[in-house]
Chain A
């Protein structure tokens, strides 16, 4: 009787052992699969990053930016920085209450000529917006 119980116990142990082994194997396979996916995802993302960096660098090339500025000077008049435009905070004198601020150059005086503005206004389809700019220009 005792021997039978013992055999039964061993059989159960065997089945249990097989089940556990199978579980471990299954989980390991799952984990392998997951790791494989992750590695490939990381590879893909890293490639994406490097590709986007190259693309960014291509778009951010000084030569390209310069061409863009030159070709769109009518809309956005950007010119290189001139030496007299650079100053330290210390160079700016204290504002005295008696002083009168006279701008050296009228803002927009050189590019936003009235005809350029008119052209811009004509391009916009929204009448309310053009009315608004128009009233300000007047």
Chain B
């Protein structure tokens, strides 16, 4: 239309040009013409100027704003906003936008209802032709024919050129992995706005503002890469679901963390949901327990207590603790689950998971030192990650001696599993506490954020103790040949009707590998497992440990950890020969 304007204007210009020439020549031949011919000439000149001005403005306008309206050949664009693709650390698609088409008819504009119905029937044999024919006969302005058809179907119908049939397209978020990474990714609402997980995080990072301002592009949104490894994520989820089934547990959680960068490689909380069906997320039992749930983590806390005692300098690895008799404080009794009833060395306290010994270690450090150490590890405050889901840890407002003692073995303080994993990673990576992230991060970037919480020496000792526990202690069932795993079991009793129950448990296994140079930290939690067979226990060593071993066995090759068959000493895993006070 712009160009035809220009054309008309140009024609007008040419004809005017000739007429003016004529006027000029008239003027040249008859000098003594009347004044009104002069006026006529002036009028012509004025007209000229106006036309030129119009042409000039129009050209300027086209040059500046452009008129090349390509339009959308498949109907108008829908309301749903476009979102960037989410990729895993290897570039696999975790979430993407798919265009869906909805087909509608405008009965008033339909020329031949039979033609439309017959045409549609060739593509959709299951469409109710009679119903459509009746509705089409009405005088309505608009009716849906079929929602969410594929692009092929849309194109086929488009090619038929049926009058009165149109399409609306909209972006729908699609998660090809379904449940696999649900609690990391989160999901979107009907308007394609993120309402949970990373989806909500990226909206908070300005995508929503951009969309509101109308600046967002349909395409060309840079895909976002996450730190998650889809394969490892699948392994964790797969093993957790198997464990849930095998031990008839009510929930299970698994976390894999890179100890040097703080990247979350995998995080799963069972039961989970399919983000393609956001309604599932509303069911309470499908919540993300890994970051938004707080639990009494039980004996894996002995790892923190032992590290604290060793790091304070008040306890040496060669020290002994008397675990012959239970500790009685007012009306509480602290006893050992697998009691040895003798004097234990520090490594023995750890591998036999002695409550008495650990409580005594905590007393050596004192209440203030204990509190300070746990807050140094970030276990006293809410852990913020990119995920909007988080929870405040729960701990007593006033620490008595008895609370310090129970907290030393993980009762009386509730923290999130992610928090536990992050704190434990600091104990094996040389002593640096690194805030976790769901986005890729290099080791150098992590070092900028890292805070030293224990000494290198303490970290070495913890590596030794954790490895020893897998070789000789409660974690024997977690040994995976070649991957030098070290870890601690935790069998916590859950509070039922205000009392700790000995049959309802919260089991966990906290491990790192390979212990000669720890790279990954893995935490597995199984909530309320039942014994696999009648007559055997349901302790963490029997369910959480083998589950974790299965995860490591499958995930370690994907993570590029080389299996080594040499002895621990040959590999450089720290060795402290601590004599047992037993003999």
Query: Chain A interface residue count: which class?
Result: 35 or more
Q: Mark A56-74, 1 if CB is under 8 A from B, else 0.
A: 1110111100100000000
B231 partner residues in chain A, CB cutoff 8 A = 62
Check if A83 sits within 8 Å of B481, measured CB to CB.
yes
The reply on B59 being an interface residue by CB < 8 A is no
Candidate in B25, B74, B93 with the most chain A CB atoms within 10 angstroms: B93
Q: Which of B10, B70, B71, B96 sits near A53, CB closer than 8 Å?
A: B96
Q: B17: which A residues are within 8 A, CB to CB? A: 10, 14
Taking a contact as CB atoms closer than 8 A, the residue among A17, A47, A84 that contacts B563 in the complex is: A84
A63 in contact with B3 (CB, 8 Å)? no
* CB-CB contacts below 8 Å: B53-103 with A: 68, 70-74, 85, 92-93, 96-99
A53 CA to B517 CA, complexed, in Å: 38
A10 touches B18 (CB 8 A): yes
Q: List residues of chain A with CB within 8 A of the CB of B483.
A: 83
Other-chain contact of B96, A36, A50, A63, A84 (Cβ < 8 Å): A50
Q: A6 to chain B: closest CB distance in Å?
A: 9
Q: Does B579 contact A (CB under 8 A)?
A: no
Interface size class of B (residues with CB under 8 A): 35 or more
Of the candidates B3, B230, B553, the one having the most CB atoms from chain A within 10 angstroms of its own CB is B3
The answer on a CB contact under 8 Å between A50 and B97 is yes
Binding stretch for chain A, among B173-181, B206-214, B408-416, B519-527? B173-181
CB of B533 within 8 Å of the partner chain: no
Q: Decide if B557 touches A86 in the complex (CB within 8 Å).
A: yes
- Identify which of A22-30, A93-101, A110-118, A126-134 touches chain B: A22-30
- Does B21 interact with chain A (Cβ within 8 Å)? yes
Which residues of chain B are within 8 angstroms of A24 by Cβ–Cβ distance? 3
In the bound complex, residues from chain B placing their C-beta under 8 Å from that of A82 are: 553
| Interface residue A107 (Cβ < 8 Å from any Cβ of B) | no
Q: Which of A35, A47, A61, A83 contacts B176 (CB 8 A)?
A: A61
Closest 7 CB pairs of A and B: A83-B482, A62-B234, A83-B563, A57-B93, A39-B70, A40-B73, A57-B176
Binding site for A on B (CB under 8 A): 3-4, 6-7, 10-11, 14-15, 17-18, 21, 25, 68, 70-74, 85, 92-93, 96-99, 151, 174, 176-178, 180, 219, 230-231, 234-235, 237-238, 480-483, 553-554, 556-557, 562-563, 565
15 CB-based A-B contacts, threshold 8 Å: A10-B18, A10-B21, A21-B11, A25-B4, A36-B70, A44-B74, A51-B151, A53-B93, A58-B176, A62-B234, A63-B238, A81-B557, A83-B480, A83-B553, A83-B563
